[in-house]
């Protein structure tokens, strides 16, 4: 019995060897001197020369643009031929945004709101991308994309209410200023932790893809600094491997607070990471609203039809300070800022483009600037008068239903306020 088993074992082993020999012979293309390799991790040929690759092994990814600094179309076949109303809505949104930035920035300096972040120099990216999207597309923003909110139809009043945290803020005064969100317009509420929205946008895109006859995509905005976060890497990789209809839109404005891009990365910007992770990628001039429009429009069509993600790196310059808590003259020259304010301003370029088309003139510009300014001033005066939400809103929405322990804490605070109300600013808040 044991002998027989032993013999069978021997026989099997011989057979296995024979199979192994045979199998090597059936793959004549596998060679140790050049030829095709068969590793599961990569499809690539063999080479016999040892050579490292680095950032200089490839040409830099070029920057796509449609108009020059004088607002002229460089190549007529790239003219998106956007209708008049859309073009004017785009420009007016840019002006409205810059007026809102100017006045709210000043109001922070006067201590009327606690914090603010401007969008100067980046308005073109906001309206160019927003115009190319459907209002149903879901937006995940970082914080410097307010032009997208305005373009979609969020009013100055709603934005200002958020900055003041009054009772008309849909966020109920819980977050810092500029952390906007609007469910009705498909704008997911902004949060401060950088890049966290990126893998979330990818997940949301996966959910949309599974809906029958899906005609929506997700766009996710992030800065060049946020792209260094681990979540950015996660998002690129998940988007590619899980086939998600998402546009990952990087605003590369040269700085992350005080850190220049030379200290942020050593490769060819953010765009060069795209192809290496299996993303359709393009680099565009972010100061050219028409280039942004063309890129996002095509990205949208591609991503919805193929469920393949797209990475867009829009090059621009952060003209304003990082925030009201930052003085950027501490780490960059005024000449540098000046150049981007005058020669390379998206608003200026776009205005010249509209004027060439005969859609706009200096008088219209003056009038709209004034009207925009008045809207903000009037809205601010109203927002200031509105009371903040009831203090009890502090403990609502933590959970869908309030757990007993939080109910108890609310009662404790109520009791405390009954006794010590004079020490709290209750008159600024709504009451029962």
Q: What character string, x for contact with other proteins (CB under 8 A) and - otherwise, covers 286-315? A: ------------------------------
Q: In 3-state terms, what secondary structure has residue 174?
A: coil
For residues 133-157, one letter each, b for 16 or more C-beta atoms within 10 angstroms of the residue's C-beta and e for the rest, the string is beeebbbbbbbbbbbbbbbbebebb
Structure-token pair, residue 4:
């027989």
Site for other proteins contains 41 (CB under 8 A): no
Which of 87, 150, 204, 296 contacts other proteins by CB under 8 A? Answer: 204
Using rule CB under 8 A, residue 404 touches other proteins: yes
What is the distance, to the nearest Å, from the Cα of residue 33 to the centroid of all Cα atoms in its chain?
Answer: 47
98, 129, 316, 323: which one is catalytic?
Answer: 323
- Which range binds other proteins by CB under 8 A, 183-191, 308-316, 324-332, 357-365? 183-191
Considering only CA atoms, which of 246, 248, 249 is closest in space to residue 308? 246
Q: Which of residues 61 and 413 has its CB atom nearest to other proteins in the complex?
A: 413
Write down the least CB distance from residue 86 to other proteins, Å: 27
> Pick from 170, 74, 89: which is nearest to 126 by CA?
89
Q: Find how far residue 69's CA is from the centre of its chain.
A: 25
User: Residue from 69, 86, 200, 355 that binds other proteins (CB under 8 A)?
Assistant: 200
Identified binder of other proteins from the candidate list 117, 125, 138, 354, rule CB under 8 A: 138
Binding piece for other proteins, criterion CB under 8 A, among 103-111, 179-187, 312-320, 323-331? 179-187
Residue 390 gets which letter from DSSP?
Answer: P
Catalytic-role residue among 55, 72, 106, 414: 106
Residue 121 or 199: which CB sits closer to other proteins?
Answer: 199
Distance CA 150, CA 137 (A): 15
User: Does position 430 bind other proteins by CB under 8 A?
Assistant: no
- Single out the catalytic residue among 322, 328, 345, 372: 322
**Closest to other proteins by CB, 95 or 311:** 311
Nearer to other proteins, 223 or 254 (CB): 223
Which residue among 266, 405, 419, 423 contacts other proteins (CB under 8 A)?
405
Task: Tell me which of 208, 250, 270, 282 binds other proteins, using CB under 8 A.
Answer: 208
**DSSP states of 50-107:** -----TTSSPPPP-B-SB-TTS-BSSGGG-----HHHHHHHHHHHHHHHHHHHHHHHH
Tell whether residue 217 is a contact of other proteins (CB under 8 A): no
> Considering the complex, what minimum distance in angstroms separates the CB of residue 158 from other proteins?
12
In the residue annotation, 57 being an active-site residue is answered as no
Is 318 in contact with 117 (CB distance < 8 Å)?
Answer: no
Which range of residues in 128-136, 190-198, 252-260, 264-272 is near other proteins by CB under 8 A? 190-198
191 annotated active-site: no
333 is known as an active-site residue: no
**Strand pairing of 138-140 and 187-188?**
parallel
Tokens 């810059």 -> residue: 98
125: exposed, middle or buried (Cβ count in 10 Å: 0-12, 13-18, 19+): buried
310-315 β-sheet, strand order = 187-188, 138-140, 218-223, 246-252, 310-315, 280-285
Strand partners of residue 314: 251, 284
Active site residue 106: yes
Mask: binding to other proteins, 146-175, rule CB under 8 A, as x and -?
-----------------------xxxx-xx
Q: Considering the rule CB under 8 A, would residue 179 count as an interface residue with other proteins?
A: yes
- Tokens at 136, concatenated: 């149903």
Catalytic residues: 106, 192, 322-323
Contact set with other proteins (CB under 8 A): 2, 138, 140, 169-172, 174-175, 179, 181-183, 188-189, 191, 193, 196, 198-208, 210, 230-231, 233-235, 237-238, 241-242, 396-400, 403-406
């Amino acid at each position: 019995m044991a002998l027989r088993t032993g013999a069978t074992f021997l026989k099997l082993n011989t057979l296995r060897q024979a199979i192994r020999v045979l199998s090597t012979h059936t793959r004549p293309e596998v060679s140790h001197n050049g030829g095709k390799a068969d590793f599961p991790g990569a499809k690539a040929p063999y080479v016999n020369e040892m050579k490292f690759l680095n950032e200089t092994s490839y040409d830099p990814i070029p920057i796509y643009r449609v108009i020059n600094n004088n607002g002229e179309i460089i190549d007529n076949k790239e003219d998106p031929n956007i209708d008049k109303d859309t073009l004017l809505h785009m420009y007016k949104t840019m002006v409205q945004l810059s007026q809102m930035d100017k006045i709210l920035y000043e109001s922070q300096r006067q201590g009327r709101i606690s914090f603010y972040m401007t969008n100067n120099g980046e308005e073109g990216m906001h309206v160019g991308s927003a115009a190319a999207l459907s209002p149903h597309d879901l937006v995940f923003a970082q914080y410097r994309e307010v032009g997208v909110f305005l373009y979609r139809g969020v009013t100055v009043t709603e934005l200002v209410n958020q900055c003041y945290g009054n009772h008309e803020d849909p966020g109920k005064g819980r977050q810092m200023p500029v952390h906007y969100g609007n469910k009705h317009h498909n704008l997911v509420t902004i949060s401060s932790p950088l890049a966290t929205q990126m893998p979330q946008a990818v997940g949301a895109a996966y959910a949309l893809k599974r809906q029958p006859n899906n005609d929506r995509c997700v766009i996710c905005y992030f800065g060049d600094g946020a792209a260094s976060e681990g979540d950015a890497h996660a998002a690129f990789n998940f988007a590619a491997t899980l086939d998600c209809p998402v546009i990952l839109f990087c605003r590369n404005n040269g700085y992350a607070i005080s850190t220049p891009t030379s200290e942020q990365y050593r490769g060819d910007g953010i765009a060069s990471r795209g192809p290496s992770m299996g993303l359709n990628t393009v680099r565009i001039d972010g100061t050219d609203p028409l280039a942004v429009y063309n890129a996002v429009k095509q990205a949208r069509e591609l991503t919805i039809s193929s469920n393949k993600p797209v990475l867009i790196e829009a090059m621009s310059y952060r003209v304003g300070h990082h925030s009201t808590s930052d003085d950027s003259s501490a780490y960059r020259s005024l000449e540098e800022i000046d150049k981007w304010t005058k020669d390379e301003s998206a608003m200026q370029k776009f205005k010249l483009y509209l004027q060439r088309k005969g859609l706009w003139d200096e008088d219209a510009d003056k009038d709209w600037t004034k009207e925009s300014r008045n809207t903000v001033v009037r809205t601010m005066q109203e927002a200031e008068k509105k009371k903040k939400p009831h203090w009890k809103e502090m403990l609502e929405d933590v959970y869908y239903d309030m757990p007993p322990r939080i109910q108890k804490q609310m009662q404790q605070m109520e009791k405390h306020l009954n006794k010590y109300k004079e020490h709290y600013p209750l008159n600024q808040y709504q009451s029962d």
